Amino acid sequence: MDLTEIAVELDREGIGASAETLYGWGRSTHSEALVVRPTDKDTIRRVFELAEKHGVTVGFRGSGCSYGDASQNGDGVVLDLTNFAKVRSFDESTGLLVAEPGVTLEMIWRQCVPLGWWPPVVSGTMYPTLGGLLSMNVHGKNNWQVGTIGNHVRSFELMTPRGETLRCDREQNADVFHAAIGGFGMLGCFTEVELQLKKIWSGRLEVEAIATANLREMIAWFETNKDDFDYLVGWVDCFPRGTALGRGLIHAARYLGEGQDDQAKATMRESAQDLPSRILGVMPKNKVWYLMRPMLNDYGMRAINAAKFWSGKRGQTRNEPYKQPHAAFAFLLDYVPDWKKAYGPEGLIQYQTFVPKEAASDVHPRLLERCHKRHIVPYLGVYKRHRNDPFLMTHAVDGFSFAMDFRVTSSNRNELWQLCRDMDEIVTEAGGRLYFAKDATMLPRTAETIWGKETIERFHALKRRLDPNSRLQTNLARRVFPGWFSS
Ligand SMILES: Cc1cc2nc3c(=O)[nH]c(=O)nc-3n(C[C@H](O)[C@H](O)[C@H](O)COP(=O)(O)OP(=O)(O)OC[C@H]3O[C@@H](n4cnc5c(N)ncnc54)[C@H](O)[C@@H]3O)c2cc1C
């Protein structure tokens, strides 16, 4: 493989390429790659041609918000699509958006909220690109109500490593449509996406906060009340044990209908959605991660979690809803920029499991117990409700997900990976799943149990058809599906 020759050829053609170290969002993994930042399809096609000529692999990257190694391609080329980012059209009467793959959720809501539209599904951060969102088939806090982002994609254009472009929708190339969404960048590059946005009548949601004494109570609350809300998310304090195991706070929200917000015009201004630039009104946000750093240990995080729980319990607003801008509700994790850096040099991993509804109140508390047994407690836990979807390599199930953030240190790394493998067994025995967007630890045999040989073979057959020389690779794909790449 000769990346230098590719860099020289690209340079001669006026296409910039640079050797860079790329990290996963959680900063627990990194690798070196030749990074190219195309702004159009011709450049992508040219990179594919050169990769073929030199026998080099190509991976895609959006904003790099996947926690693990999904958007890294060590010792290969990485096509960073963030500069291929124009909105081609937006029809304000129908809410249909046509955009290039580097357009982010942030660009979409900034343009569309004042026109009365909101992205139908959003992640907990506003920075992901359309290409990244489709490749992982991202879910939001409304997953059980509206499905994943793929459910709202009208069509897309995909460029294969042979330079062909395929238009895919539910009729045309339907097999590719259902596999490339959630296909972790293995079938081709999304070069255009048609997405249906959601009509809104206010810039705000009506929100209620509810404290729950433990995880089982949270699960029961979700099940009983889910039909009354559009969004549900549970924050879990992972430190207490016994009857308080998995205590937490639920935030449940509803859209406001037409005429329900007398300040609708003002709340739908872009500026009304902006997150505050200072924390507690005084501290500049971009310094906060630095101040958090001394607290990022078991003692500090136990105290912070307890303080959050008790202040949330005091302020719970069941039956006294309050109003909150869409962006503030959806992108809580963006309040403190770079908060991941507070985790220190080895970063963090997120371990998110999706478990069928019948098994969740057994499996998820057991996972927490397992963490305590191994003395590695997640510093953040997030709970959500999901539903099935028609995408081939989907992560979602009709059930619940529990996302746990673990600090990685040089001394806990092996033990933490072992803990994840113990938890893999508990989850897969119950018919649960993991999620490529968050993953850093999955083993090939775990993937085989989750998706099954037949589904994986169907996906691989499509990959062989669209990418016969296995040009498209990432560190995650080589780790989880090594058989696809062994010659
Ligand atoms: C704080 C935080 C909160 C999050 N909350 C959620 C959440 O609530 N729900 C959820 O589902 N996820 C969530 N995520 C995960 C995130 O939404 C996904 O990882 C998403 O894929 C990131 O998009 P990206 O543009 O950064 O893509 P990257 O992470 O850069 O790449 C993701 C995948 O997409 C592929 N890819 C990128 N562009 C293209 C393209 N044009 N064509 C083909 N393949 C491409 C890459 O190869 C890679 O496999 C969260 C992440 C963070 C950091």
Of the residues 48, 65, 130, which should be mutated to test ligand 1's pocket, given the most ligand atoms within 8 Å of the CB? 65
User: By the 8 A CB rule, do 184 and 476 touch?
Assistant: yes
How far apart, in whole angstroms, are the C-alpha atoms of residue 138 and residue 122? Answer: 7
**Considering the domain boundaries, does residue 455 fall inside one?**
no
Distance 282 CA to ligand 1 centre (A): 32
How far apart, in whole angstroms, are the C-alpha atoms of residue 284 and residue 317? Answer: 29
Which of 199, 229, 244 finishes a domain?
Answer: 199
User: By the 8 A CB rule, do 328 and 204 touch?
Assistant: no
Range 244-273 burial, b when 16+ CB lie within 10 A, else e: ebbbbbbbbbebbeeeebeebeebbeeebb
Tell me what percent of the residues of the chain surpass a pLDDT of 90: 93
In terms of domains, do 299 and 363 share one? yes
pTM value?
0.97
**Considering the domain boundaries, does residue 300 fall inside one?**
yes
Q: What is the CA radius of gyration of the chain?
A: 22
Of the residues 31, 58, 60, 81, which should be mutated to test ligand 1's pocket, given the most ligand atoms within 8 Å of the CB? 60
Instruction: Give the 3-state secondary structure of residue 472.
Output: strand
How far apart, in whole angstroms, are the C-alpha atoms of residue 358 and residue 107? Answer: 39
**Considering the domain boundaries, does residue 451 fall inside one?**
no
Q: Can you give the pLDDT at residue 281?
A: 65
User: 183-197, 229-243, 313-327, 436-450: which range is least confident on average?
Assistant: 313-327
**Considering the domain boundaries, does residue 309 fall inside one?**
yes
**Considering the domain boundaries, does residue 439 fall inside one?**
yes
In terms of domains, do 225 and 92 share one? no
In terms of domains, do 191 and 208 share one? no
Q: Are strands 117-118 and 198-199 parallel, antiparallel or unpaired?
A: antiparallel
In terms of domains, do 284 and 423 share one? yes
In terms of domains, do 276 and 410 share one? yes
The 10s digit of each residue's pLDDT in 260-290 is 999 999 999 999 998 777 766 667 788 888 8
Residue of the CA atom closest to atom 21 of ligand 1: 132
Distance 280 CA to ligand 1 centre (A): 30
In terms of domains, do 412 and 295 share one? yes
Q: Can you give the pLDDT at residue 287?
A: 80
Which of 157, 181, 199 finishes a domain?
Answer: 199
The 10s digit of each residue's pLDDT in 354-373 is 999 999 999 999 999 999 99
In terms of domains, do 109 and 63 share one? no
Using pLDDT thresholds of 50, 70 and 90, give the confidence band for residue 1.
low
Q: How many domains does the chain have?
A: 3
The 10 Å Cβ neighbour count of residue 441 is 22
Q: The CATH number of the domain where 8 resides is what?
A: 3.30.43.10
- Give residue 146's identity as a one-letter amino acid code: V
Q: Is the CB of 25 under 6 A from ligand 1?
A: yes
In terms of domains, do 221 and 105 share one? no
Q: Can you give the pLDDT at residue 280?
A: 63
Environment class of residue 280 by beta-carbon count within 10 Å: exposed (0-12), middle (13-18) or buried (19+)? exposed
Q: The CATH number of the domain where 100 resides is what?
A: 3.30.465.10
Q: Is the CB of 133 under 6 A from ligand 1?
A: yes
How far apart, in whole angstroms, are the C-alpha atoms of residue 139 and residue 130? Answer: 13
Does residue 318 register a pLDDT over 80? no
**Considering the domain boundaries, does residue 450 fall inside one?**
no
In terms of domains, do 179 and 241 share one? no
User: By the 8 A CB rule, do 216 and 402 touch?
Assistant: no
Q: Is the CB of 128 under 6 A from ligand 1?
A: yes
What domain range is 132 assigned to? 83-199
Q: Can you give the pLDDT at residue 286?
A: 80
- Give residue 429's identity as a one-letter amino acid code: E
Q: Can you give the pLDDT at residue 238?
A: 98
Instruction: Give the 3-state secondary structure of residue 35.
Output: strand
How far apart, in whole angstroms, are the C-alpha atoms of residue 429 and residue 431? Answer: 6
Q: Is the CB of 184 under 6 A from ligand 1?
A: yes
Q: Which of 409, 418, 469 is nearest to 441 (CA)?
A: 418
Distance 228 CA to ligand 1 centre (A): 29
Does residue 185 register a pLDDT over 70? yes
In terms of domains, do 339 and 473 share one? no
Compute the CA torsion angle 373, 439, 99, 81 (nearest 10 deg): 130
How far apart, in whole angstroms, are the C-alpha atoms of residue 355 and residue 269? Answer: 39
Residue of the CA atom closest to atom 3 of ligand 1: 124
In terms of domains, do 140 and 229 share one? no
Which of 170, 199, 228 finishes a domain?
Answer: 199
* Mean per-residue pLDDT, 69-96: 98
Of the residues 63, 136, 141, 394, which should be mutated to test ligand 1's pocket, given the most ligand atoms within 8 Å of the CB? 136
**Considering the domain boundaries, does residue 279 fall inside one?**
yes
**Considering the domain boundaries, does residue 254 fall inside one?**
yes
In terms of domains, do 104 and 247 share one? no
Q: Can you give the pLDDT at residue 147?
A: 98
Q: The CATH number of the domain where 375 resides is what?
A: 3.40.462
